[in-house]
Structure formats: structure tokens, C-alpha cells
Amino acid sequence: MAAKKLNYHLMPRKGWLNDPNGLVFFHGRYHIFYQADEDDLQGRMNKAWGHYSTTDFVTYTRHELAILPDSEYDMNGAYSGSAIIKEDTLYLFYTGNVRYAGNHDYIHSGREQNLICVESKDGFNFKNKRCLLSNKDYPRDCTKHVRDPKLFISEGNYHLLLGARLHDDTSCVLEYISKDLNSWKYFQRYTPKKDVGYMIECPDLLKNESNSFIMCCPQGFVKEQEIFKNVYDCGYYKIKGKDLVEYQALDYGFDFYAPQTFYNSKRLIMMAWIGMPDNEYLDIYDDWNQTLSMPRQIEFKEGRMIQKPIDEILSLRKEKKKYCRSFAISKSSNIEFEADNEFVLSLNDIKMVYKKNELCLDLSKCNCNRNKRYIQNIKVNKMSIFIDETVLEIFINDGRYTMTSRFYDSNNQLNIKTEGIKEMITYEMKGVKIL
């Protein structure tokens, strides 16, 4: 069974896709860069930056690769990074990966992770590649794993965050500061006080009226009962001085990693990779592999990040229909319902069970080596489920919780059975257009 192409999620032209990179609104277009390897379906050969752009999140243009690993500073991969605008020029910052041959653990030796910058006047053609920081510029207690720059402006200065692994197998986020985007000085670090892993990837700074947060992907959390069950986690810490506190998970499904927000957008919009590094899942693919999430609008309520599909995604919904109990719909659909009691929902071999204030997503019968994920101590009031062939994006209680996953089956439609749900509203979803 080959994976059917998706309808309203972005896929690579060919080969592999992972982290969204350099998300930015520039010259009237939203630019979506991403980790791409067009030579290998597992992403292990020639990691570059792919590129989509759009004005409306409905019609996209797919562009040629934006960044290639073609210098001594990034010869083994143009890894993740972000975008910033200065004087009508778009700058992309990323980690250039270099691996040495020989007997290395590639943690404490055998690797370079360089801060690389390129620039563009039009957002499509990039030049002036240069290395601005290398491992010798990072604090001495850092291993060779320092990566994923995220840039922002504060009080007239440019700042960048880098995720880091330390020699004692703990983690932190480094912050550097610059006046011109070229010369960078170490400024400070943020350190988790609880829920500490050995590495932090993909840091991003978010703010609301009263607090600042670092959204990131911690690696090495201790698995506890039904939490932190994925290989790596994805969530956000509140910043308290130089401490990272009150960690909250961002998603409770199997596949959600490397979220990033758009720079220079009036709305706070986030996208992520619907995947998970170093997993043992069974994914089915054809000449392409992996996908990005729908764009999600972010806001904070009562100290919690709320995620909702942007309005442009909702504009893809077709005729509204209502069903009870058993029915069949397209595998490109949105399903919504209110819950006032415990329930069981089956979508082909996918099963969702809400019982005793616990929500379980069960994919154990989907033959993809994904079993069960849980949200505990939750009162479910409302659910909105987006299905796109092999993708699930589930929004619970108006986006207070989400569960995101891939799934696979051989059915051409979605056969739905319910227990304890009075009425379900469905919409078939139109596809986006790729130019």
C-alpha cells in the first residue's frame, strides 16, 4: 500500500521532509521553508531547505531548494533555523552540520554545528553565505550539540536562541545578542529547573501580556506512566528570571515536533512537523515521506497555549452535514461534536475512548507501530478532528489540548461508529492548490 497524497497538508516535492524552518511574512507572502532531502526518503543523504510560499494559505507555490549544504561549514547538512528581516532584506540563520570521519561519539567530539547566515532581497534567491559562530564560540560546558537558531528583536538589539546539550547530560537554551546580525556575543542562558532532559531542540520565544515562554523540543525526559511516552517531547516552559519552569506539553499525540512561529506576521501562527525523530513507527510512503501540520493560530488563556486552525483552513470546508451513530465520510474531512458524557469513537481502526476523565487515542490496530496516547485529568466538552488521508489533527476543548498523529489503513473512506455521542457535524475538506 503506497501512501496517498495529502489534500490540505504540505508534502515534499520528492524525498524527505521534517522541521519547518524560517517561517516569515516577507514582501506580502508567507514563506515556509523546511528540512528537505530530495535524494533520500529517510532524510539521511543531503539535508537542505525546501521552500513553499503563499499569500492566503490556500494556494501555494513550490519553489526550488532555497539552501544547499554546499560549503565547508554545512557540508553534512543545512540544519534547522529561522528568519529575520533587516532593512528590507530577508536573512535566514541555520545550523551548518559537519561530521568528521573516525571513532567519535558525535556528542563530545567529531562534529561541528556552525551558525550560518544567508540573505535575500526577494525571498527566493539567497547569497552571501557566511559562518558567524562555531563550537569554539559556545560556552565550555556545551557539547558539540548546539543548534536551531531562532531570532527576534528586543530593545533595539537582535537576539538569537540556540538549544544546547551540556557535558553533564543536562540541557539549556543559550541566548546571544547583536547590533548588526554579524557580530554576536554570548548574553545569557535559560535552564530548566524541573523536567530536565539532556538536550533542547528548536527553541522559540513566545510572549503574552504578563509572561514569556520558550517553546521547544526537550530530549531525554524520564518516561512516567502515561506522560512523556514519545521518544522526545514537545512543549513550552515559562521563563522565570533565567529559569525555565512549569513545563506544559504542547501536543499529546504520536507525531508532533519542531514547532515554529512566523516572524513578522500580525497573527501568531505556528506550524510543526507531523513526525518524530528516532522513532520506531512504521510509516508508509511512496516517492515522498512526511508532512507539515496545518497552520495553527496561537493565543494564551489562563497561562495555557491555545491552538486553533487558522480561518483559511476552515474556509476549505464544504457542505455541513449531521450524523448520528454509524456513517461513512471522505478521508479528507473535519468532524466536530460536543461531549456531555463518556464516549467511544471509532474511525476505521482508530479508536478514541473518553472514560473517567481520561482521553485515549488508540492506534494499536492501525499496523503502524503506534499504540496508545493519553490525556489525563481532562473534562472533554468539544472535539474537532481533521483527517487528511493518513493525518490526524485533533483539537480538544477549542484547542486547549491537541493530539496529532499519522495513521495508515487500506480503506478508501472513513467508517465511523460512535457510542455516547448524540450528534456529529461533518465537512468534507477541499484540497489546497500547489503551483
- The secondary element (H helix, E strand) that includes residue 270 is strand 269-273
Whether 84 contacts 91, CB under 8 Å: yes
**pLDDT at residue 11 in the model:** 97
**Quick one: DSSP state of residue 316?**
T
pLDDT of residue 325: 85
CATH homologous superfamily for 319-430? Answer: Exo-inulinase; domain 1 (2.60.120.560)
Cα 309 from chain centroid (whole Å): 14
Q: How far apart are CA 429 and CA 420, in angstroms?
A: 26
pLDDT at 2: 63
Displacement of CA 365 from its chain's centroid (Å): 26
Residues 6+ apart with CB under 8 A from 310: 57, 267, 269, 294, 295, 296, 297
- Average predicted confidence (pLDDT) for the chain: 96
Is residue 251 within 8 Å of residue 402, measured between CB atoms?
A: yes
Cβ–Cβ < 8 Å for 316, 332:
no
CATH fit for domain 15-311, picks 3.40.640.10, 3.40.50.2000, 2.60.120.620, 2.115.10.20: 2.115.10.20
| Of 148, 152, 95, 87, nearest in space to 118 by CA | 95
Residue 367 confidence (pLDDT) = 87
Spell out the domain ranges in the chain. Answer: 15-311, 319-430
Q: Which residues of the chain have a pLDDT value below 50?
A: none
Alpha-carbon span 291 to 271, nearest angstrom: 11
Q: pTM for the full model? A: 0.97
pLDDT at 327: 96
pLDDT for residue 222: 84
